[in-house]
Amino acid sequence: MSSASVSYSPVDRSSRRPVARRGETSLRRLWPSDGPALRAFFLRLDAETRASRFMASVGDRALADYAERATVMSGMVVGVFVGGTLRALGELRPFGSGASGARRAEVALTVEQGFRRAGLGTMLLRRMTEAARNRGIAELHLRCLPYNAAMRRLVMGFGAQMRLEEGENEGTIRLAQATPLSLWREGIETALDFGLAVTALPQLPLPRAA
């Protein structure tokens, strides 16, 4: 499946109801101009989803602060919009090199309740593994709670090696080196992302001529 920021038709595998029926589905990188959509997304998350994503209980104020910084912190944030509303989020955060010198990044995923098991998490992770690979990152790390069967299943589909460490599941996905094709593909996607983000900007009134 291509991860370009164009329409998708993900299918809800549990109920076989296409999520796309709720509106056009598109995936793109998020920018600071997406701050309001990010804030609304985080504030809609129920307590269980917040705990699964952050491995702690997180209140509205902390989430609003986090939403404000999310696109300006190092790394990248990718979102899936369904019918124009942000419903799923992927975050890629570089954090230095391991003992072997391999560059590493942490990845986190959040899909809103009601939009799960439709392939959105897989779409995001595919896009982020490609972006990471093209930035010379050799290892993707992720953390989740031990009972998080959904995340474990998702990342194991990407070849993650999982281990239980201090009450958390930690996973590592080893990435292949970038190729001219992967670089080219991401170049196209980035150009499309930027175009879509610009079209999503609110229309500002033009200054009137004197």
Ligand X SMILES: CC(C)(COP(=O)(O)OP(=O)(O)OC[C@H]1O[C@@H](n2cnc3c(N)ncnc32)[C@H](O)[C@@H]1OP(=O)(O)O)[C@@H](O)C(=O)NCCC(=O)NCCS
What are the contacts of 124-127 at 24+ separation with CB within 8 A?
124/27, 124/78, 124/80, 124/88, 124/89, 124/90, 125/90, 125/154, 125/155, 125/158, 126/1, 126/3, 126/158, 127/3, 127/27, 127/78, 127/90, 127/189
Answer for which of 154, 160, 173, 175 binds ligand X (CB under 6 A) is: 154
175 binds ligand X (CB under 6 A): no
Closer CB to ligand X, residue 172 or residue 194? 172
77 binds ligand X (CB under 6 A): no
Closest approach of ligand X to the CB of residue 187, in Å: 25
Answer for which of 27, 77, 132, 144 binds ligand X (CB under 6 A) is: 144
13 binds ligand X (CB under 6 A): yes
- The number of residues that bind ligand X (CB under 6 A) is 23
Binding mask of the shown chain, residues 31 to 70, with x at each position contacting ligand X by CB under 6 A: ------------------x--xx-----------------
118 binds ligand X (CB under 6 A): yes
Answer for which of 82, 138, 151, 175 binds ligand X (CB under 6 A) is: 151
146 binds ligand X (CB under 6 A): no
The residue number whose beta carbon is nearest to ligand X equals 121
Binding site for ligand X (CB under 6 A): 13, 49, 52-53, 108-111, 116-122, 144, 148-151, 153-154, 157
